[in-house]
Structure 1
């Protein structure tokens, strides 16, 4: 959902709406109250070309400011962590994945395979928008989603609570031979940069998917699906019938 114009954006902030980010035109200045509320609520305030705002709003009458509202409610990361540990399941960590189709596909797979939800950074991360909702086939409405300022800090908190951090990246153990610990997160990095160094440093396990063809990489949503299937097989061992009786 898009809200544009100085007063509508300000009122959306005052009303506590779930805002992904606020965009303002590079040739203008956002109102002081907007800046103040964004800072207080940890909402990203981003300078972009005016044309970008007008394209998103579908009009030139934007006053140079626009807010992107999320169709889902985010939860505190500790809610996501506690539920994952309680269910002895997993969640995915999306390390600066910006393509909405990939994010939607990953969330859909996570829900299908019994995952709890996803952890994402506030910066350089795809907003949960209409494209993501559609690509997820509505799975976003059944998942616990959390956005944090620092992935590495949040993952360290998860580990202190008893969780395991499993990074899917090149140079790790063959994924087929790994005995996945339940109560874990699967970390997936962007196709361009992979998993960031600070997040890699939190890893308990580094796993890789063997490949044979001439193309030397997988789309992140495909790699994520393979990794989630491996964890799901462990879940099936724990719950061979109950709750896991659907087939595609």
Structure 2
């Protein structure tokens, strides 16, 4: 069994009917959010146990658990083939697709922040690699504020094969990297996938080569790059802005 910690991640896991074995709540006087967790957990017939803070500290390996920890089944990644079918169905309904491709993002806090922003931007899915990349764990769940319970996250073994299949499905691939074309001068209102690269090495050469276009975020300060989660958020909400203006 895995576990998630923190009030928001646990609440969203309950609401989204994640497979929860047991919820552990700090014993003693409880603030309103913990009372709410107990209430909705009982409505869903989820076992709730009260334990002392030392027990929660030990179970969470001294992480900031906020007085609650839930034992859950292993995170279920979304099947990439199902995503390809979703793309087709969205197009038939007249809905534009927005997909985020993460090329070797290693920091779990970055991944969690990206998942949260992607959900807020109504992205359809996130694609990560199953090797040399951060995976969904309790830190990602907590950093995402529970968005992992709603976001479709696909895990693939070969990112370039996945990119080619997306292109075959009519998705335009835009890689966020150093370049001459600013993101705000690019039409991102169609079916798009945004590629965000590794925190230190950026996007791999082959992924850039397989992308349709390189777009950049202009940097005017002495530091030449942004945090990966910040870059992803800027680009995703540019897509949101352009689509809203075309309505």
Same fold (TM over 0.5): yes
* Structure-2-length-normalised TM-score: 0.66
Q: How many residues align?
A: 179
CA distance in 2, matches of 1:234, 1:161: 22
CA distance in 2, matches of 1:213, 1:121: 32
Q: What SS class does the counterpart of residue 222 from structure 2 fall into?
A: coil
Equivalent in the alignment of 1:141: 149
Q: For the Cα contact (< 8 Å) 1:70–1:129, is it kept in 2?
A: no
CA displacement at 1:145 relative to structure 2: 0.9
* Equivalent of 1:115 in 112, 123, 147: 123
CA displacement at 1:79 relative to structure 2: 1.9
CA displacement at 1:174 relative to structure 2: 0.9
CA distance in 2, matches of 1:149, 1:183: 23
CA distance in 2, matches of 1:155, 1:70: 30
CA displacement at 1:201 relative to structure 2: 1.6
Matches of residues 1-248 of structure 1 in structure 2 within 5 Å? 1=1, 71-84=74-87, 86=90, 87-239=95-247
* Structure-1-length-normalised TM-score: 0.66
Shift of the 148–212 alpha-carbon distance from structure 1 to 2, 3 Å rule, reads same
Higher relative contact order (CA 8 A, sep 6+): 2
RMSD: 2.5
Structure 2 spans left out of the alignment, 5+ residues: 4-58, 62-71
Q: For the Cα contact (< 8 Å) 1:89–1:114, is it kept in 2?
A: no
Q: What SS class does the counterpart of residue 181 from structure 2 fall into?
A: strand
CA displacement at 1:238 relative to structure 2: 4.6
Shift of the 145–177 alpha-carbon distance from structure 1 to 2, 3 Å rule, reads same
Q: What SS class does the counterpart of residue 210 from structure 2 fall into?
A: coil
CA displacement at 1:181 relative to structure 2: 4.4
Q: For the Cα contact (< 8 Å) 2:179–2:214, is it kept in 1?
A: yes
Q: For the Cα contact (< 8 Å) 1:89–1:235, is it kept in 2?
A: no
